[in-house]
Amino acid sequence: MLSKNKIRFIRSLEMKKFRSESGCFLAEGNRLVGDILPLFECELLLARPSWLATQGDIRAGELIVAEGDDLERASLLKTPQDVLAVFRQREMYPDTENFRNELVIVLDGIQDPGNLGATVRIADWFGISNVVCSHDSADIYNPKTVQATMGAIARVTVSYADLPELLDKIGDDLPVYGTFLSGENIYRENLTENGLIVMGSEGNGISPAIEQRISHRLYIPSYPADAETVESLNVASATAIICSEFRRRIAARDYI
């Protein structure tokens, strides 16, 4: 039975204060919950019988079969699907020893939950398994962020760190890329198979403290070069273009 207290707890996870106190987060949707279930500890799962019938053994601290309008009362979505679940959060510390042989996305002040989630989804698509965020970035466990990852949160490790300290620690050993209007055309620059790709906030770009630690300044040119276009790209769109070019170079070298 879904009690009023459980509904109150589930809905409280919309707020960071209660996510921090409980150490939990909320995920909703048939595919999203299915992707997260094998990799995160599930505290509570609420689902319609039709969804449960399609699953195998479900490991959850508490499993409740949804009756009537249970999902509508508990959900944060306008149109709830067949399942929602409360999961335990993971520890979010960057494992820098594993950064040296791979590409890592570093997010500097990305405050929009949807943009953060979309960027994690892009990282997953391009085989990038680590995303590091500044402490003033959006919370990866915000329900809007979780939803926007489309399940990528299950495969991409998202951690938070003091970025200047992080870059000082490993920046001398790795190239640190950043995008600037005054940067070099990304399509003409040498790109490595490993390194840190720093993406700045939607409104302010890369912060001054981080900018001075960038070793390779890149620019995504508009087309044609002399055309009047929008002032900038959405951070998730820019990340997708940059990751695609890095991966294209690797694929091209593999065929040489």
Amino acid at 70: D
Quickly count: other Cβ atoms within 10 Å of residue 133's Cβ.
25
Asked whether the beta carbons of 148 and 116 are under 8 A apart, the reply is yes
Residue 105, domain CATH:
3.40.1280.10
Q: What's this model's pTM, rounded to 2 decimal places?
A: 0.91
Distance of CA 37 to the CA centre of its chain: 17
As for how many domains the chain has, the answer is 2
Whether residue 129 sits in one domain with residue 42: no
Whether residue 29 sits in one domain with residue 138: no
Assign 256 a pLDDT band (cuts: 50, 70, 90). very low
Kindly report the length of the chain. Answer: 256
Whether residue 126 sits in one domain with residue 69: no
CA pair distance 184, 99, nearest whole angstrom: 24
Q: Last residue of a domain, which of 35, 54, 88?
A: 88
For β-strands 62-65 and 24-28, DSSP reports them as unpaired
Question: CA triplet 42, 45, 47: central angle to 5 degrees?
Answer: 150
Counting residues of the chain whose pLDDT is more than 70, the rounded percentage is: 96
Picking from 34-38, 128-132, 202-206, which range would have the lowest pLDDT averaged per residue?
202-206
CA pair distance 162, 148, nearest whole angstrom: 24
Question: Which residue in the block uniquely carries the two structure tokens 């929602």?
Answer: 84
Crossing angle for the helix pair 235-254 and 113-125, nearest 10 degrees?
Answer: 10
Residue 82 sits in which domain range? Answer: 4-88
Whether residue 152 sits in one domain with residue 75: no
Assign 57 a pLDDT band (cuts: 50, 70, 90). confident
In Å, how far are 97, 105, 120, 216, 241 from 179, measured between CA atoms?
Answer: 25, 12, 18, 9, 11
Whether residue 108 sits in one domain with residue 173: yes
Assign 252 a pLDDT band (cuts: 50, 70, 90). low
Whether residue 63 sits in one domain with residue 125: no
Whether residue 247 sits in one domain with residue 122: yes
Quick check: 255 pLDDT over 70?
no
Asked whether the beta carbons of 172 and 81 are under 8 A apart, the reply is no
Whether residue 100 sits in one domain with residue 63: no
Counting residues of the chain whose pLDDT is more than 90, the rounded percentage is: 79
Whether residue 151 sits in one domain with residue 25: no
Q: Last residue of a domain, which of 26, 59, 88?
A: 88
Residue 81, domain CATH:
3.30.1330.30
In SS3 terms, the chain reads as: CCCHHHHHHHHHCCCHHHHHHHCEEEEECHHHHHHHCCCCCEEEEEECHHHHCCCCCCCCCEEEECCCCHHHHHCCCCCCCCEEEEEECCCCCCCHHHCCCCEEEEEECCCCHHHHHHHHHHHHHCCCCEEEEECCCCCCCCHHHHHHHCCHHHCCEEEEECHHHHHHHHCCCCCEEEEEEEEEECCCCCCCCCEEEEEEECCCECCHHHHCCCCEEEECCCCCCCCCCCCCCCHHHHHHHHHHHHHHHHHHHHCC
Q: Last residue of a domain, which of 88, 115, 143?
A: 88
Whether residue 234 sits in one domain with residue 115: yes
CA pair distance 105, 255, nearest whole angstrom: 26
* pLDDT, tens only, 119-166: 999 999 999 999 999 999 999 999 999 999 999 999 999 999 999 999
Q: Is 39 exposed, middle or buried (0-12, 13-18, 19+ CB in 10 A)?
A: exposed
What pLDDT, on a 0 to 100 scale, did the predictor assign at position 233? 85
